[in-house]
């Protein structure tokens, strides 16, 4: 499968950004370029928004169960 053609759920985006935030916190890098600061702002604003949605309370198991349940309906993107 083409890795660039997949769609991400809000849960996956939330998990990815949370993990990246934790990695950056642990690395402790203080010097950042303006491009890096812009990326940090986008990550912050996205996390701020998405944290207010139900995906914050989901788990990989619930997402997997949902997808398995919906598989029988043969929905398209």
What does the domain layout of the chain look like in residue ranges? 36-72
Measured CA to CA, the distance from residue 55 to residue 16 in angstroms comes to 12
Give the model's pLDDT for residue 37: 85
How do residues 16-68 score in pLDDT, each as one tens digit? 999 998 888 888 766 677 778 888 899 999 999 999 999 999 999 998 999 89
Closest of 11, 16, 8 to residue 54, by C-alpha: 11
Q: What's the first-to-final CA gap in the chain, in angstroms?
A: 15
2 pLDDT higher than 80: no
Quick one: tokens of 73? 């309906």
């Amino acid at each position: 499968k083409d890795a660039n053609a997949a769609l991400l759920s809000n849960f996956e985006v939330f998990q990815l950004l949370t993990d990246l935030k934790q990695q950056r916190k642990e690395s402790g890098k203080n010097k950042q370029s303006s491009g890096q600061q812009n990326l940090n702002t986008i990550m912050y604003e996205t996390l701020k928004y998405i944290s207010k949605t139900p995906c914050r309370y989901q788990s990989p198991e619930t997402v997997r169960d949902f997808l398995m349940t919906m598989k029988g309906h043969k929905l398209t993107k």
